[in-house]
Amino acid sequence: MPAGLASLSLATHRKAPFAMKAKACALAVYAVLLTTLVTGCGQSIPKTKANLALCAVLAKVLDHQAPAVELAGATFETNAPISQRLREEVGTYVANVSDSSSNLAPDAAKAAESDCASIGAPTASGY
């Protein structure tokens, strides 16, 4: 092999770890940005009495200490200023729990529990 080709091959090989690190770093940044977008741009729900109360009922239901009907009442039969996002997440959970053919209830519960945890509200023991 000519000397010029050997040095070119060696130089390319030395740059490969840097390129791999750059790709890994770019992938990590992409993952963080995607996670931030999926979770609502890093904004949590407001810490209000109504949100805290709904989160407490959700935690009881998920811990099997209260029936899902209680959660439905706390979500839909109140005029309390519950944040729209939390109301939708809990409402989705209630709708999916009542539909025995649906398997989406755990995902909706995780989303609501994540919001509840972000404001320091009670969460289910398995969360």
Q: How confident is the model at residue 36 (pLDDT cuts 50, 70, 90)?
A: very low
Q: Are residues 12 and 70 in the same domain?
A: no
Can you give the pTM of this predicted structure?
0.63
Number of domains in the chain: 2
- Rounded to an integer, what distance in angstroms lies between the CA atom of residue 12 and that of residue 122? 55
Q: Are residues 56 and 8 in the same domain?
A: no
pLDDT tens, residue by residue, 110-123: 999 999 999 999 89
User: For tokens 């407490």, what's the residue?
Assistant: 56
- Rounded to an integer, what distance in angstroms lies between the CA atom of residue 88 and that of residue 108? 9
Mean pLDDT of 89-100: 87
- Rounded to an integer, what distance in angstroms lies between the CA atom of residue 16 and that of residue 6? 16
Per cent of the chain over pLDDT 70 is 65
Q: Structural domain of residue 105, as residue ranges? A: 49-118
The verdict on residue 123 lying in a domain is no
Q: Are residues 67 and 13 in the same domain?
A: no
Q: Are residues 18 and 76 in the same domain?
A: no
Tokens encoding 14: 């030395």
The verdict on residue 125 lying in a domain is no
